[in-house]
Amino acid sequence: MSSMILRRVTRATSSFYAPGRRHFSDNSLDHAIREFNKEMETIFGEPPPTSHGSLTSSHVLEDAEPAQSFCSPPLEVEPTLSHVGSRGQAQMVDVSAKESSNRTAIASCRVLLGEKAFKLVAANQIAKGDVLGVARIAGICAAKQTGNLIPLCHNITLSHVSVDTKLNQKDFAVEIEGQASSTGKTGVEMEAMTAVTVAGLTVYDMCKAASKEIRITDVQLESKTGGKTGDWHRKQ
CA-closest candidate to residue 202, choices 148, 131, 150: 131
Q: What angle do CA 90, 95, 99 make, to 5 degrees?
A: 160
The SS3 call for residue 130 is coil
Q: Which helix (H) or strand (E) holds 221?
A: strand 215-225
> Which stretches of 47-188 are DSSP H helices?
57-63, 115-122, 131-143, 146-149
Beta strands in 72-208 (DSSP E): 101-112, 160-168, 173-184
Pick the catalytic residue: 26, 63, 130, 205? 205
Q: Give the count of beta carbons closer than 10 Å to the beta carbon of residue 201.
A: 17
178/188 Cα distance (integer angstroms): 11
Centroid of chain to Cα 225: 12
* Structural contact between residues 142 and 163, judged by C-beta atoms closer than 8 angstroms: no
Other beta carbons within 10 angstroms of residue 52's beta carbon come to 13
One-letter identity of residue 66: P
Catalytic annotation on 205?
Answer: yes
Which residues carry out catalysis? 205
